[in-house]
Amino acid sequence: MKILAPSILSADFLCLGEQVSTVVKAGAQWIHCDIMDGAFVPNLTFGPAIVQAVNRCTDVPLDVHLMIKNPDLIIPEFIKAGADYITVHAEEVVHLHRTVSLIRDLGAKPGVAINPATPLCMVEEILPFIDLVLIMSVNPGFGGQKFITSSLDKIRRLDTLRQKKGYNFLIEVDGGVNENTITQLSDAGCDVFVAGSAVFQGNVTDSVQVLKEKLRNT
């Protein structure tokens, strides 16, 4: 099943609960929460309190992407807030297996993200222990960036490795996902599609339905 995960980074926070309810009613299966600390990436977003608020207004899985330094210090708070998936960056976490184990032990599903210039070999050893690999198809920090096309080849190679080894992790992509790129990403082997600007800039219901229709045709 192909999963659409709208990123609330692009939502209108004055009516966040309403926008979350609208995208879920329109067919989104997950909600994606981009957590940035102004240090690991050049932007500052929100913390566990917003995740907890979103959790109160929807029953769909909350997909929390930690673009922060020292994520181990705050992972428990995000899981208490209702995170179902917690994804950390391979570029930041030194003891990746320990962090992945912490996430699972606390009751969430662990994921690992890699930036556009990070090779797949950085995560190859952790693949048997995680539920999700997040391929960044833009440089993290801001929404609305242009899609980096070389990400397609990275997704294909990761999907080939997954099939060869019999792994069960999901492949997620974040950055530049819209009606022009989503079909290519799906064909390459992606399972979870994080869309921010493509969902929230315009009619939210129509945007979700257009993306869902594209996925149904792949």
- Residues known to be catalytic: 34, 174
Phi, psi of 20 (to 5 degrees): -60, -45
Give DSSP secondary structure letters for 111-126. EEEE-TTS-GGGTGGG
3-state secondary structure 127-189: HHHCCEEEEECCCCCCCCCCCCCCHHHHHHHHHHHHHHHCCCCEEEEECCCCCCCHHHHHHHC
Q: Are 11 and 19 in contact (CB under 8 A)?
A: yes
3-state secondary structure 181-209: CHHHHHHHCCCEEEECHHHHCCCHHHHHH
Residue 211, judged by CB atoms within 10 A of its CB (0-12, 13-18, 19+), counts as buried
Beta bridge partners of 171: 133
- Mapped onto helix, strand or coil, the DSSP state of residue 45 is coil
Phi, psi of 177 (to 5 degrees): -80, 120
